[in-house]
């Protein structure tokens, strides 16, 4: 077996952030797709802005905001950018859906098989601890995950090296020493794959939309169209 631990990104990898489009469409007819796309893009942009503006502070970025707050502010910007008339209750409704994001259909079974194979499983996410706890519980994944790690403790978002280093610190604190190349990092976000690869993890890119990979950074070590393909990588060599 090549790997001892499999670490997953949460949003877009385990949980379908674009599933919120249907609720947005019900609230703002004809704008659901635009809201979902702009909201996600602005959310990621804010995490990068915060991290890049104060990357060397030992206490984390002085501009840090919890991911829940960033998500709400990104939603507010998106609704304003699209010139939509909205009420606070509309934002509350959409934000509440973030705690109940649906998982991609194959994910639970894949996580169960990885656990049964004896590997350590974890999430590493920009998400706030309470957001992650709600999403994991809603997807019935609690028993399948050994660790749910939020960057909240270092107050720097991915792709800061300190965020990926949390995986090492967490595993070591639980008596699980691993080399970086014994960790398979799984994400559907190409930028996350690049950051994890630069840090030293082996990477698996979940390319659900058949997109080209980024033109900077090393290519992912493995690629598949959904999480089922991760299982093929974890099969022991004959």
Q: Tens digits of per-residue pLDDT, 49-98?
A: 999 999 888 899 999 999 999 999 999 999 999 999 999 999 999 999 98
Q: Which residue in the block uniquely carries the two structure tokens 């706030």?
A: 128
Each residue's pLDDT tens digit, 35-56: 999 999 999 999 999 999 998 8
Beta strands in 56-170 (DSSP E): 120-125, 147-150
pLDDT score, position 140: 94
* 137 pLDDT above the threshold of 90: yes
Q: What is the pLDDT of residues 151-175, one digit of tens each?
A: 999 999 999 999 999 999 999 988 8
User: Which residue matches tokens 């949390």?
Assistant: 166
Catalytically active residues are 9
What is the pLDDT at residue 175?
87
- Which class would CATH give 5-15+101-234? alpha beta
Per-residue CA distances from 59 to 49, 64, 114, 120 (Å): 17, 10, 35, 29
Beta bridge partners of 183: 5
The segment(s) of the chain belonging to CATH 1.10.150.240 are 17-100
The domain 17-100 belongs to what CATH superfamily?
Putative phosphatase; domain 2 (1.10.150.240)
Which two tokens mark 39? 């909201």
Residues of each domain in the chain carrying CATH 3.40.50.1000: 5-15+101-234
The model's pTM is 0.94
């Amino acid at each position: 077996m090549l790997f001892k631990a499999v670490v997953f990104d949460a949003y877009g990898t385990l949980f379908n952030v674009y599933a919120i489009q249907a609720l947005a469409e019900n609230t703002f007819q004809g704008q659901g797709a635009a809201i979902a796309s702009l909201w996600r893009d602005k959310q990621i942009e804010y995490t990068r802005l915060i991290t890049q503006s104060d990357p060397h502070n030992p206490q984390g970025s002085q501009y840090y905001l919890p991911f829940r707050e960033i998500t709400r502010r990104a939603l507010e910007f998106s609704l304003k950018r699209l010139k939509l008339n909205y009420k606070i209750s509309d934002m509350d409704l959409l934000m509440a859906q973030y705690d109940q994001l649906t998982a991609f259909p194959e994910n639970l079974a894949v996580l169960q098989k990885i656990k049964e194979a004896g590997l350590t499983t974890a999430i590493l996410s920009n998400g706030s601890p309470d957001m992650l706890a709600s999403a994991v519980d809603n997807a019935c994944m609690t028993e399948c995950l050994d660790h749910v790690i939020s960057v909240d403790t270092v107050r720097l978002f991915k792709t800061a090296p300190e965020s990926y280093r949390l995986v090492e610190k967490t595993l070591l604190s639980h008596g699980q020493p691993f080399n970086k190349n014994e960790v398979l990092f799984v994400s559907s976000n190409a930028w996350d794959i690049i950051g994890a690869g630069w840090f030293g993890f082996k990477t698996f890119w979940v390319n659900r939309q058949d997109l080209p990979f980024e033109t900077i950074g090393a290519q992912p070590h493995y690629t598949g169209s959904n999480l089922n393909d991760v299982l093929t990588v974890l099969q022991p060599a004959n």
